[in-house]
Structure 1
Amino acid sequence: MPGREKDSYNIRSVENALHLLEALADEESSCSLAQLSQRLDMTKASLFRMMATFENHGYVERGNLSGEYQLGLAAFEVSQKLLSKMTLLRKARPAMAQLVRQCNETVYLVVQRDREALFLEMLDNDQKVKVIPLTSQRFPLEECAAGKIFLTFDETNQPLTTDHPELLNEISHCRKQGYCIDNNGIGEGSTCIAVPLFKSGKILTGCLALIAPSFRTDENRINKELAPALKAAGEMISAQLGHNAYTPRSIP
């Protein structure tokens, strides 16, 4: 039935199992059934059955003493297999490594997930003072430079409206200069600079973001070193993906 909505095929038990795995992934440490029950609004009995199944297949591990749960190695293996198959990640890594060596700042590969920017991969620097790691973190598109890249250059996103004049002005400026920048968007005392990554057909496939403490990113360094190096790396990756030039969308 081609006209049927995808949501109508959802299986509630599978949805609950996926919500459980996502909740475990969001936890910084192990957690108890009671904590998960409260967070997911599910009974301990149903959670215990799902946990037992996941544990048998290695997707969840339980502490022998604490009895608390955390993601298992099987989940890690699946994620690594997915990442190894991503053309974008394979093409981006060499240029990201070169950029880190050149600027000695942390560089991220960012993709869009729904209306959020997902920080997918990080290559770190050897500075003593760093911004906290953001791998696997998500931010609303409107709140950080990486997210605004998707609002500026991705034709599939909802059209921007005059309801947000400040955001429109930011995106217009981003379109003109070819990159977006923000201060404190992903955390107090941080600066994020982001450029678009395109594949053939002028299709935005992700963005490259350089993140550093604000005290190391004065205007002079951004204009003369960081932004030019980041744009060059973005153009290099886009060329590897089959696209050598791009034309950003117009702002209504």
Structure 2
Amino acid sequence: MPGRAKDSYNIRSVENALHLLEALADEESGCSLAQLSQRLDMTKASLFRMMATFENHGYVQRGSSTGEYELGLSAFEVSQKLLSKMSLLRKAKPAMAQLVRRCNETAYLVIQRDNEALFLEMLDSAQKVKVIPLTNQRFPLQQCAAGKIILAFNEAYAPRTTDHPELLAEISRCRKQGYCIDNNGVGEGSTCMAVPLFKSDKILAGCLTLIAPSFRTDESRINRELLPALKATGEMISAQLGYNVYAPRSIP
């Protein structure tokens, strides 16, 4: 409804759950149910139900000796994923900007979310004709070049992904050549080129992708201009993430 205050959309139970997590995050050690009840002005019964739900999902755990509540590993994992995403964005954007200036085509930073490729960040080109924006859109991994790169270099995931021999052959080819190119994967008349980005632990951090209308991406331009620039930029970002290109990395 127009003009309606944001606060009016708040759900009280969700607010209480967030306050509970914030209270636990503020504690250096654990906290008892009675302490939380007094601090948050909530009944022990309500807190107990919330705690049980959080505990079932790993966001809260109880100390083995004290029985007091503290944040669990799931909360830590979520925070680490956020920090990793922020670090990746911060380090990738300057190099992406150089790539866009050099090629005058749109660049994307892509990460994996479950069985999909999430187009996280876009730096647009100055071209008048371009592929529609894809920021925050998701595509099945097997559908687009970035997704196939994820399948090729996510070592714990790829071998169990598909039984389709043609896709397995393409994934193997992407792994060997270090890049992937496909047409129409993210939209009719589009060409998508993707390279992997690696972290210091030699684990895939995401993908760098160039996307352009197919009429501007003939084989000559791809091989002469776009692909060399994309690969060089991907290597630059990986180096900034701490990846040593000369270090051994096991590939299935």
| Residue 164 (structure 1) aligns with | 164
Unmatched segments (≥5 aa) in structure 2: 13-81
Query: In structure 2, do the counterparts of structure 1 residues 141 and 162 end up closer, same or farther at CA, with 3 Å as the change threshold?
Result: closer
1:179 and 1:195 in contact (8 A); partners too: yes
Query: Once the 2 structures are TM-superposed, how far is the Cα of residue 154 of structure 1 from its aligned partner?
Result: 0.9
Query: In structure 2, do the counterparts of structure 1 residues 248 and 190 end up closer, same or farther at CA, with 3 Å as the change threshold?
Result: farther
Query: In structure 2, do the counterparts of structure 1 residues 165 and 190 end up closer, same or farther at CA, with 3 Å as the change threshold?
Result: same
In 2, the alpha carbon distance for the partners of 1:161 and 1:116 equals: 12
| Residue 203 (structure 1) aligns with | 203
Q: Percent identity?
A: 75
| Residue 53 (structure 1) aligns with | 9
- Aligned: 1:119 with 2:75: no
| Residue 251 (structure 2) aligns with | 249
Q: How does 1:88-237 map to 2 (within 5 A)?
A: 88-160=88-160, 163-237=163-237
Amino acid at match of 2:9: T
1:210 and 1:230 in contact (8 A); partners too: yes
In 2, the alpha carbon distance for the partners of 1:220 and 1:172 equals: 24
Amino acid at match of 2:119: F
In 2, the alpha carbon distance for the partners of 1:101 and 1:175 equals: 28
Amino acid at match of 2:164: H
Unmatched segments (≥5 aa) in structure 1: 1-29, 32-49, 57-81
Query: Once the 2 structures are TM-superposed, how far is the Cα of residue 226 of structure 1 from its aligned partner?
Result: 0.7
1:165-214 alpha-carbon deviations (Å, 9 max, x no partner): 11011112111211011100000000000000001111101000000000
Query: In structure 2, do the counterparts of structure 1 residues 109 and 161 end up closer, same or farther at CA, with 3 Å as the change threshold?
Result: closer
CA RMSD, Structure 1 to Structure 2 (Å)? 2.7
2:110 and 2:120 in contact (8 A); partners too: yes
Task: Count residues in correspondence.
Answer: 179
Query: Once the 2 structures are TM-superposed, how far is the Cα of residue 93 of structure 1 from its aligned partner?
Result: 0.5
Amino acid at match of 2:146: A
Amino acid at match of 1:242: G
Query: In structure 2, do the counterparts of structure 1 residues 160 and 223 end up closer, same or farther at CA, with 3 Å as the change threshold?
Result: farther
TM-score, scaled relative to structure 1: 0.65
2:152 and 2:158 in contact (8 A); partners too: no
2:131 and 2:213 in contact (8 A); partners too: yes
In 1, the alpha carbon distance for the partners of 2:158 and 2:130 equals: 34
Q: How does 1:78-93 map to 2 (within 5 A)?
A: 86-93=86-93
TM-score, scaled relative to structure 2: 0.65
1:79-128 alpha-carbon deviations (Å, 9 max, x no partner): xxx69970000000011000000000000000000110000000000111
Question: Which is higher, the Rg of structure 1 or of structure 2?
Answer: 2
1:120-169 alpha-carbon deviations (Å, 9 max, x no partner): 00000011100000000000101100001110001121524772111011
Query: Once the 2 structures are TM-superposed, how far is the Cα of residue 51 of structure 1 from its aligned partner?
Result: 8.7
